[in-house]
């Protein structure tokens, strides 16, 4: 059996004796050591790339295992960034909200508004070129629906039209009374004329019969008979004429007579004109469209009413919040979920619950202070009803933009 010393993969013995008689290993020989290091270099370069890829997948894609780890550990996904990756882009979240956020929370930009949103108080339709004559309210006044808030300078002209229409109605009423009395008198005259004609015809008939008898006895002449016959015929014609005159009156009811009906229709037309003039008078008066608070006044006396309204009103007794939620997060949101609203201007957190979720995907309207913020995002409008205490605070901040956090854990009853 031969004693062979073990050799390495390159065929060299594991121990080498140099010219000085000193024993050395393969690692002590420089060219051999460099060759082994070069073989390991590709593998060493692959390790950082693999770690970077895994970090990206873990932080952005967030597989179920990573999500569960964050949930159990109570960590914020984002690898030390200032905001979680679940946030909408270009949204800066206050630190106090970050401290209490959960991975399941949904964040969106919000706007505080009165119940039913802001109502513009516009000039009446048809006011034309009228200008503002007087504004009767101030910012902060509490008004009832229908209360007069301003007058326009066309009021005097429209009031004159109302007075003229009233006078016309008076004339038509007097005319109707006159026609009724005239018809009543004419009807009585027609009846009397008919009675008189019938009496005259009866006398003429008797005279004709007597003249005929006398003529037959030879006492009266033919001329006398002809005269009696002529008078009788004239009396009969007078009766027919009186009956024709009386027939113009369809009945004894005065109001059913044609002349009276015409007068009544003329009166009704005048009354319609008066009502129209009174409605036109409303074109000079600006009324509150709702019950609420005057939030702002956009015009002054002497100016033309702005197209967007003379002033703005809102029912601030119940404040709401309109939250824009990105379409890829809306599936997590349901009515009844609790919502927190934060704004630096208020300095405290407002609370409420989701009341309604919009049914239409729209274009984002609320943007952050970042001038490079995304403006074409597709969002759902979510309406939040604030609780009474938060509503009283928000009543002084209509249209204030804030940040809303929706706790979607309520969705699963947690």
95-117+315-412 CATH: 2.40.30.170
129: pLDDT strictly greater than 60: yes
Structure confidence by residue, pLDDT tens digits, 265-322: 999 999 999 999 998 888 899 999 999 999 999 999 999 999 889 999 999 999 999 9
pLDDT for 201 equals: 85
The DSSP-derived string for 85-114 is: TTSPTT-PPPHHHHHH--TT-EEEEEEEEE
**Can you read off the two tokens belonging to residue 76?**
């914020």
Question: Residue 324's CB: how many other CB atoms inside 10 A?
Answer: 23
* Phi, psi of 156, deg, nearest 5: -60, -45
pLDDT grade for 75, boundaries at 50, 70 and 90: very low
Q: Closest Cα partner for 145 from 314, 306, 282, 279?
A: 314
Which helix (H) or strand (E) segment holds residue 323: the answer is strand 311-326
pLDDT grade for 104, boundaries at 50, 70 and 90: confident
Question: Residue 69's CB: how many other CB atoms inside 10 A?
Answer: 14
Comparing 25-39, 97-111, 166-180, 189-203, the range with the smallest average pLDDT is 25-39
pLDDT for 125 equals: 83
CB-based burial label for 117 (10 Å; 0-12, 13-18, 19+): middle
pLDDT grade for 73, boundaries at 50, 70 and 90: very low
Task: Pick the more confident residue, 407 or 78.
Answer: 407
Q: Count Cα atoms within 13 angstroms, Cβ side, for 213.
A: 6
Question: Residue 67's CB: how many other CB atoms inside 10 A?
Answer: 15
Cβ 86 vs Cβ 62: under 8 Å: no
37: pLDDT strictly greater than 80: no
User: Is the pTM of the predicted complex or chain greater than 0.75?
Assistant: no
222: pLDDT strictly greater than 80: yes
**Can you read off the two tokens belonging to residue 350?**
């407002």
Q: How far apart are CA 397 and CA 401, in angstroms?
A: 9
167: pLDDT strictly greater than 70: yes
pLDDT for 395 equals: 93
Task: Pick the more confident residue, 363 or 293.
Answer: 293
Burial state string for 247-274 with b = 16 or more CB within 10 A and e = fewer than 16: eebeeeeeeebebbeebbebbeebbebb
The rounded percent of the chain whose pLDDT value lies above 70 is: 71
If you count them, how many residues does the chain have?
Answer: 414
**Can you read off the two tokens belonging to residue 302?**
């002497």
* Residue ranges covered by each domain of the chain: 20-61, 95-117+315-412, 157-281
pLDDT for 221 equals: 85
The rounded percent of the chain whose pLDDT value lies above 90 is: 36
Cβ 262 vs Cβ 183: under 8 Å: no
Task: Pick the more confident residue, 45 or 226.
Answer: 226
């Amino acid at each position: 059996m031969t004693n062979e010393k073990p050799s390495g993969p390159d065929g060299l013995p594991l121990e080498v004796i140099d010219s000085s008689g000193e024993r050395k290993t393969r690692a002590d020989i420089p060219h051999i050591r460099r060759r082994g290091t070069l073989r390991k270099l590709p593998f060493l370069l692959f390790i950082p790339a693999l770690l970077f890829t895994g970090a990206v997948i873990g932080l952005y894609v967030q597989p179920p295992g990573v999500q569960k780890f964050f949930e159990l550990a109570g960590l914020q996904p984002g690898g030390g960034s200032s905001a979680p990756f679940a946030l909408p882009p270009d949204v800066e979240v206050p630190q106090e909200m970050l401290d209490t956020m959960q991975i399941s929370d949904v964040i969106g930009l919000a706007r505080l508004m009165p119940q039913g949103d802001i109502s513009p108080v516009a000039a009446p339709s048809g006011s034309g070129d009228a200008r503002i004559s007087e504004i009767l309210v101030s910012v902060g006044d509490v008004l009832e629906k229908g209360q007069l808030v301003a007058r326009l300078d066309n009021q005097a002209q429209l009031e004159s039209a109302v007075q003229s229409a009233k006078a016309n109605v008076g004339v038509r009423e007097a005319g109707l009374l006159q026609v009724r009395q005239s018809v009543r008198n004419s009807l009585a005259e027609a009846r009397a004329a008919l009675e008189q004609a019938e009496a005259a015809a009866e006398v003429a008939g008797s005279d004709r019969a007597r003249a005929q008898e006398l003529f037959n006895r030879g006492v009266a002449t033919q001329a006398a008979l002809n005269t009696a016959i002529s008078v009788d015929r004239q009396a009969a014609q007078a009766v027919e004429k009186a009956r024709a005159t009386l027939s113009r009156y369809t009945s004894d009811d005065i109001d059913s007579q044609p002349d009276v009906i015409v007068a009544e229709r003329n009166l009704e037309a005048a009354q319609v004109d008066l009502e129209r003039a009174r409605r036109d008078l409303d074109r000079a008066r600006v009324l509150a469209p709702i019950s609420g608070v005057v939030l702002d006044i956009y015009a002054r006396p002497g100016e033309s009413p702005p197209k967007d309204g003379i002033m703005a009103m809102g029912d601030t007794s119940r404040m709401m919040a309109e939250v824009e939620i990105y379409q890829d997060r809306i599936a997590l949101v349901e009515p009844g979920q609790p919502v927190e609203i934060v704004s630096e201007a208020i300095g405290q957190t407002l609370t409420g619950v989701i009341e309604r979720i919009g049914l239409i995907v729209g274009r984002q309207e609320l943007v952050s202070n970042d001038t490079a913020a995304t403006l074409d995002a597709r969002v759902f409008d979510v309406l939040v009803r604030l609780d009474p205490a938060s509503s009283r605070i928000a009543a002084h901040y209509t249209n204030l933009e804030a940040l809303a956090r929706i706790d979607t854990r309520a969705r699963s009853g947690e």
